[in-house]
A and B are shown apart, each in its own frame.
Chain A
Amino acid sequence: MPEGRWKWATAAVAVVVMAVAAGCGSSSSSSSSKPPTKIGKGEGKLNLVAWEGYTQPEWVKPFETQTGCKVSSKFAGSSDEMVTLMRQGGGSQYDMVSASGDASLRLIRGGDVKPVNVNLVPSWKDFIPQLKSPSHNTVDGKHYGVSVQWGPNVLLYNTQAVTPGPTSWSVIYGPTYKGKVSVPDNPIQIADAALYLSKTNPSLGITDPYELNQKQLNAATDLLKKQKPLIKKYWALSSDESDLFKNGDVVVGAAWPIAVKTLEADKQPVKDTIPKEGATGWADTWMLSAKAKHPNCAYEWMKYISTPKVQAQQAVSYGETPVNQKACPLMDQIEKGSCARLHANAPASYFNSIKFWKTPIADCGNGKTDCQDYTVWQKKWQEVKG
């Protein structure tokens, strides 16, 4: 195309200039307005980013009827996904997110969520003291959401294939069930390996599984690489877990309680336990987007989801622990013994025994700053998986 060459070149340059100009667009700045003092009229819609199982029709339908706010949920399988979704399209796509402790601070620092007025959530005063204003959702006295539920990452096993019932995480790190193990596909899983090492290899000096220096992180990653041949599949979706166990592909693995409940409801021979080395866990907060389009419905949701009845429903349905202390008797009404089994009003010692998810940052506390931050964790996890 001899005569057209110049025209092509100009067109190409124009496109590039346009694209680069587009690329130089500035990132959105969040406006942190003061939280409202009363809940206004509902907007009729509510867009949520939630963990699978947090918005079951069982309690969403009554909410929709009561408030007229139609709920649409986008499921996310990891905290990373939640952070990304909340930032999508300028940050106004979704109104609320049920973020765990490892996402909440990232969202706060990134200006993606704004403070809420907890006085508009009457049940807040009935929350267990540790989760009223925890450091992962309360910064400088400002509450960036309300806690919703919390729970451990459990060891799930097929009672027919794995006997006697395991009492240690070693069952998923040892060769006995090679090719029949499953763990979550999530960089934060490195913390579970670190937790195991903190008990089995004390010389490494791991005290907090989320604060790892290079040596400790490498040790945890090596353990995971040694574990890889045992893994049938790293589960990413809740259905992965239930399908793997139901169809005999996996007999033991790290799981979330929802998988346990789904399998038990389907009469599968499974049981879950917290092994002696302890467990990691998560404490979730419903956070309000800085650019939420439906803030009144959002406040209605916060009010609703913290009431004892709904807390009980969600706790029993998912298999987690409610933050509202008044939920316990209601849980036993739905399913006998669930309050005790799910440690609903357990002493503080149980709460403290769980190593809740938090974002790994370089600052280790006590003066040291050689801990590996989350981007390194993500790279290491890709190494393990690749």
Chain B
Amino acid sequence: MAPVGALAGRPPGAARRASAWLFRRPGLRAALTLTPPLGWFVLLYLAALVALLVSAFWSVDPFTSEVVHKWTTANFKSLIEDPTYRRIAFRTIGIAAAVTITDGILAFPFAYFAARVAPRRLQTVLFVLVLLPLWSSYLVRVYAWRLILAHDGALNWTLDKLHFGSLNVGYSNWAMWIVFSYIWLPFMIVPVWTAIERVPDSLLEASMDLGGSVWRTFRSVLLPLALPGLIAGSIFTFSLTLGDYITPTLVGGASSDFIGNVVYRNVGVANNVPFAAAFATLPMIVMGIYLTVARRLGAFEAL
């Protein structure tokens, strides 16, 4: 509330003059607001990323493990030629896609119920319940799944009591698929919920009035409008799975190495940052493409 009366007749104070001066210079204001965040990003993050990409073209001396600053494409050559890394890349991308699709299917009916069917009170409860798991350490939740899926674990124990026999799911790619879908589910639910909520009632009613069946309304009206939310959620599930190395370490089996494991092994263990950087360009490229497509589909407004 501007105290107009009190100010009338008094010369403007320093702060007021400064703010008026700034008001006449939108460009400067833009620069001032934009410089801190962009400065942070460009100087810290982008510079680091570019330096990383550049180091992918270097190599490492075998015995002293010092980085040799000589331009070479040897890292990329071994990545492309060695079938091991192709396998690992396909496995990573494949499971990431499977997890994304699974989470999309699991999240949508939940989000629809929460956004449109549940009464107000229940909505608050549901929202809190969806976010709560995010506060109980990712590591501990993955470790709990180890217990559930182990040979003598909770799942087999339950199946045994129900006389369904037992599964050998522990420490395998199946286990990783289940665990990843579990961990990232809240990240998919929230944007989809938000997107469905934003779809106006009137549109859906109009579609029904025009003679559309429930399925048709869903397919042609609801789904396209909720799609940005699905895509936004998929950015998280896909990218988080693509780069993870902890879940494969904890619940993976003998053939469960992910891109992240190779990268981690080369950075945190073998101290071969150039090779790790070279392999890391693959998820960067994949996510770059994914993000560009997602932006086209309007996912950025739904994030």
Contacts and interface: CB of A to CB of B under 8 A. Distances in A.
Interface of A: 11, 15-16, 18-20, 22-24, 27, 78, 80-81, 83-84, 87, 106, 109-110, 179, 228, 231-234, 236-237, 243-244, 247-249, 361, 373-375, 378-379, 382-383, 385-386
14 contacts: A20-B51, A23-B54, A23-B55, A24-B69, A80-B271, A81-B268, A106-B63, A106-B65, A109-B63, A247-B150, A249-B171, A375-B270, A375-B272, A386-B85
Contact of B271 (A20, A83, A237): A83
B253 A247 contact: no
B151 A22 contact: no
Give the secondary structure class of A's interface. Answer: helix
Instruction: Determine the interface band of chain B, counting residues with CB < 8 A from chain A.
Output: 35 or more
Given A81-B268, A374-B62, 11 more contacts: A19-B54, A22-B51, A84-B271, A110-B65, A236-B249, A373-B62, A373-B63, A378-B270, A382-B84, A385-B255, A386-B87
Contact of A20 (B54, B62, B63): B54
Of all A-B residue pairs in the complex, the 4 with the closest CB atoms, nearest first, are A386-B84, A247-B150, A248-B151, A19-B50
B71 to A, nearest CB: 11
B153 A109 contact: no
Contacts of B65: 83, 87, 106, 110
A143 B48 CA distance: 39
A228 B254 contact: yes
A22 to B, nearest CB: 5
B254 A234 contact: yes
Contacts of A109: 63-64
A247 B47 contact: no
A208 to B, nearest CB: 18
Nearest to A81: B269
B152 A84 contact: no
Nearest to A251: B151
Given A248-B151, A374-B62, A16 B253 contact: no
Contact of A248 (B63, B146, B152, B269): B152
Contacts of B60: 375
A296 B62 CA distance: 33
Contact of A232 (B46, B88, B254): B254
Contacts of B62: 373-375
Given A15-B50, A243-B150, A386-B257, A233 B252 contact: yes
